[in-house]
Amino acid sequence: MAKKQVNVALIGYQFMGKAHSNAYRQVGRFFDLDVEPVMKVLCGRSEKKVAAAAENFGWQEYATNWEDVIGRSDIDLVDIGSRYYTFQATMLYCLEACAAVSLPVVVLDRPNPTGLIDVEGPTVRPGFESFVGVHPICTRHGMTIGELAKLYQAERVPGVDLTVIPCHATREQGVFLLHPTDFAVPPSPNMPTLKTAHVYPGMCLIEGTNLSEGRGTTRPFEYVGFPDVNPSRLVERLRAAELPGVVFLPATFRPTFQKHAGKSCGGCLIAIDDYDEFRPVRTGLAVLIAFRELLGDAFQWRTERYEFVDHIPAIDLLFGSDRERLAIEAGASWQNISAAWESEEADFQERRKPHLLYPE
């Protein structure tokens, strides 16, 4: 029986556009889906560049006007193409655009699959703003998209006419799950499971390096590795770090696309054994330090253009400043580096309070 086809539009053709195009092309090799994604149209501002990208990536058509794309009746799914997971950044830009022309905005709220309690990680410092850091919020913000909209309205776009339609959520102790076992529909190709979502706030930091973050495998962001690394030696270092709520399992994997495609990478699988205690951003920081100590000069920060920025290293954009990178290069421990986050985390906890919608 033929699968139902779902027409996909992708807005953006640079780093994440290429990554998501690869994922859409190959998703059927890794997951038994009820639908078949059809790469219908790729959208970008430069007609010459988007036309070339559409041909290279395998899209049927290209376009330069995103408003025309999202208004098409033959498009079933619009993917914006990913602070980090950039759907909320796009929402902020939408708030600003609508405020400028006096259009009201309605946000249909959605649960935060990684929880509504814990806040973790640094905020963005002036001069390091980007698509993965549009506003000074903590890496793991513990808010729903609607709550973030209210915070952005108060701190960034006070003139916007905003309505948030609440969802069914509660700020109970423990992890707040969108679904008892997993996503009903993955929000993007490289966010296939709830486990992925939980490790993502820390393991996305790997994108700022030459390490593989597991793209091109069935466990993106859960795997991390590099060619010829001894998994046992890496795991020994990570276990000595005594990070809460996580077990590091030795692993060898071979990505089918993205970094080190076709090469055997040694590293580890990030396995969460206590969701309430797990601290993904601190874990990601410790993983960076362990690989850098193990690899020496072979470990490199990403220097290519990242999220439309080419004059600031990707790792600085992800952390929100150069403070963490410089501390890592100076040999600081993950404990000393993350201690500097505590005042920022406490401050953000207070800033977000007036905008929280859901009870304890």
Calculate the average pLDDT of the chain.
86
What pLDDT is recorded for position 76? 45
Highest mean pLDDT (candidates 58-72, 119-133, 157-171): 119-133
Number of domains forming the structure of the chain: 2
Give the model confidence (pLDDT) of 116-153 as tens digits: 778 999 999 999 999 899 999 999 998 888 899 999 99
In a domain, 282, yes or no: yes
Highest mean pLDDT (candidates 10-19, 30-39, 189-198, 210-219): 210-219
- Strand 265-272 to strand 246-253: parallel, antiparallel, or no bridges (unpaired)? antiparallel
Phi-psi region of 174 (alpha: psi -120 to 50; beta: other; left: phi over 0): left
Residue 114 banded pLDDT, cuts 50, 70, 90 = confident
Out of 64-68, 235-239, 319-323, 346-350, which region has the weakest mean confidence (pLDDT)? 64-68
Of residues 312 and 89, more confidence is placed in 312
Q: What is the mean pLDDT of residues 38-58?
A: 90
Q: Quick one: 28 and 102 in the same domain?
A: no
Q: 122-142: b or e for each residue (b if 16 or more CB lie within 10 Å)?
A: bbbbeebbbbbbbbbbbbbbb
pTM above threshold 0.85: no
Q: Quick one: 172 and 62 in the same domain?
A: no
What pLDDT is recorded for position 29? 75
Q: Quick one: 346 and 256 in the same domain?
A: yes
- Which of residues 81, 96, 117 is at a domain's end? 81
Highest mean pLDDT (candidates 35-39, 100-104, 202-206): 202-206
Quick check: 285 pLDDT over 70?
yes
Q: Quick one: 155 and 98 in the same domain?
A: yes
Q: Quick one: 324 and 261 in the same domain?
A: yes
Q: Quick one: 111 and 145 in the same domain?
A: yes
- Which of residues 52, 81, 110 is at a domain's end? 81
In a domain, 277, yes or no: yes
In a domain, 360, yes or no: no
What pLDDT is recorded for position 288? 98
What pLDDT is recorded for position 173? 40
Instruction: Give the domain CATH number at 238.
Output: 3.90.1150.140
Give the model confidence (pLDDT) of 10-19 as tens digits: 888 877 788 7
8-state DSSP, 124: P
| Domain carrying residue 210 | 82-355
In a domain, 205, yes or no: yes
Q: Quick one: 91 and 48 in the same domain?
A: no
- Which of residues 81, 98, 123 is at a domain's end? 81
In a domain, 112, yes or no: yes
Q: Quick one: 70 and 159 in the same domain?
A: no
CA dist., res. 163 & res. 159, Å (int): 13
Q: Order the strands of the 35-43 sheet from edge to edge.
A: 61-63, 35-43, 4-11, 77-79
Question: Can you tell me whether residue 252 is helix, strand or coil?
Answer: strand
Q: Quick one: 147 and 218 in the same domain?
A: yes
Q: Quick one: 159 and 76 in the same domain?
A: no
Quick check: 186 pLDDT over 80?
no
What pLDDT is recorded for position 252? 98
Q: Quick one: 24 and 163 in the same domain?
A: no
Q: Quick one: 180 and 42 in the same domain?
A: no
Q: What is the mean pLDDT of residues 81-109?
A: 81
8-state DSSP, 116: S
Of residues 178 and 18, more confidence is placed in 18
CA dist., res. 93 & res. 343, Å (int): 28
Instruction: Give the domain CATH number at 70.
Output: 3.40.50.720
